[in-house]
């Protein structure tokens, strides 16, 4: 059955390249203007799935995606099912016949600009940066004469009839972006033993609330890959915490920690459990040891010495 997948467009973006890496079979791509629009398409039933960037190894979290994951409230949740990591390098492109030494403006996405800023300062000094909604949109701006050159995937040059002057441009040769596959809430992707679980939570505004919440993971040996805070936008000084954990919700330590966090939190949103694209952190505490502890407790409850 054909699926519609929303992604940051137009054609030629890194997000489109990531979409193809998920191997979803027969799909129709739905290019949209932002990660928020991509997830809104899923919530509205206009798309079955969405692919969005969530983190870059150079510039950190993609905050627009973080905010979009919890838009719409409890009745419009979405869930992450897979992830891929994509190597990121750019091509520098102009209209055919343009002299790169004479360009005055360069268009690209703001996150992309942070990944090539050193190269631009060295090779295109004095160039004015123009923010584009996506890298492929930057190529379209060049084709339309609204910018002199663009930094974008090479496919964007092919799609827009542009001339490529440099390839593989990146200040960090190992730069990667993490993309996630998002859909309506459902049964989590099956446990693989190398998984990520993500949650978003808010806590009472009282001393020690965050420390207490984090101790629920530490006490159970659950490693935390990342924690970020973002304003709730409801009142000044109120924040949501976004946490990525090593392990799956079917791992007993993770499940127990989340149960304990639920008791502490004002709000706890399950974002998903899915296979990790890389091995980071420490696996949850040995499950055999936990089963032995359960057996001991059961014997005590049954009146047997243990």
Q: Name the 3-class secondary structure at 124.
A: coil
pLDDT of 299? 87
Q: Summarize pLDDT for 106-123 with one digit per residue, the tens.
A: 999 998 999 999 999 999
Active site residue 105: no
Predicted pLDDT at 241: 96
Supply the pLDDT for residue 281. 55
E strand segments, the chain: 3-8, 27-32, 49-56, 60-61, 79-87, 90-94, 105-108, 128-131, 149-152, 163-169, 176-183, 195-202, 224-231, 239-246, 267-275
Q: Checking DSSP bridges between strand 60-61 and strand 49-56, what pairing results, if any?
A: antiparallel
- The strands making up 128-131's β-sheet, listed across from edge to edge, are 128-131, 105-108, 149-152, 90-94, 163-169
Residue among 65, 108, 177, 197 flagged as catalytic: 177
Domains of the chain, CATH where assigned: 1-87+177-185 (3.40.190.10), 90-169 (3.40.190.10), 187-306 (3.30.70.260)
Residue ranges of the chain with per-residue pLDDT less than 70: 279-288, 290, 305-306
Copy the structure tokens of residue 115. Answer: 């990944």
**pLDDT at residue number 287:** 62
Q: Is 177 a catalytic residue?
A: yes
Tell me, what's the pLDDT at 103?
96
In sequence order, the β-bridge partners of residue 273 are 197
Reading the block at residue 139, the tokens are 């190529």
Q: Is the pTM of this model over 0.85?
A: yes
Considering the candidates 179, 201, 217, 270, report the single residue annotated as catalytic: 179
Of 75, 52, 56, residue with least CA distance to 65: 52
Percentage helix, strand, coil for the chain under 3-state DSSP, each rounded to 5: 30, 30, 35
* Residues 239/202, Cβ–Cβ less than 8 Å: yes
pLDDT at 155: 94
Predicted pLDDT at 285: 56
Q: How far apart are alpha carbons 169 and 129 in whole angstroms?
A: 16
pLDDT of residue 284: 60
């Amino acid at each position: 059955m054909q699926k519609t997948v929303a992604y940051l467009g137009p054609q030629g973006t890194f997000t489109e390249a990531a979409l193809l890496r998920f191997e979803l079979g027969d799909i129709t791509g739905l290019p949209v203007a932002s990660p928020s629009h991509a997830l809104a398409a899923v919530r509205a039933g206009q798309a079955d799935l969405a692919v969005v960037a969530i983190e870059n190894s150079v510039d950190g979290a993609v905050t627009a995606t973080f905010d979009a994951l919890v838009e719409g409230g409890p009745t419009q949740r979405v869930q992450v099912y897979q992830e891929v990591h994509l190597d990121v390098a750019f091509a520098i492109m102009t209209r055919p016949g343009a002299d790169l030494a004479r360009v005055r403006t360069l268009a690209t996405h703001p996150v992309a600009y942070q990944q090539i800023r050193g190269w631009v300062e060295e090779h295109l000094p004095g160039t004015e940066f123009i923010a584009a909604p996506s890298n492929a949109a930057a190529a379209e701006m060049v084709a339309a004469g609204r910018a002199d050159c663009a930094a974008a995937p090479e496919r964007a040059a092919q799609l827009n009839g542009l001339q490529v002057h440099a390839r593989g441009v990146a200040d960090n040769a190992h730069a990667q972006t993490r993309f996630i596959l998002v859909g309506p809430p459902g049964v989590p992707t099956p446990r693989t033993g190398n998984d990520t679980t993500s949650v978003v939570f808010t806590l009472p505004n009282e001393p020690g609330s965050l420390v207490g919440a984090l101790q629920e993971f530490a006490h159970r040996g659950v490693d935390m890959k990342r924690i970020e805070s973002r304003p709730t936008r409801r009142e000044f000084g109120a924040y949501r915490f976004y946490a990525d954990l090593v392990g799956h919700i079917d791992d007993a330590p993770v499940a127990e920690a989340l149960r304990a966090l639920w008791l502490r939190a004002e709000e706890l949103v399950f974002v998903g459990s899915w296979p990790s694209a890389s091995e980071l952190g420490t696996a949850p505490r040995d499950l055999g040891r936990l089963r032995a502890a359960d057996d001991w407790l059961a014997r005590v409850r049954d009146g047997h010495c243990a």
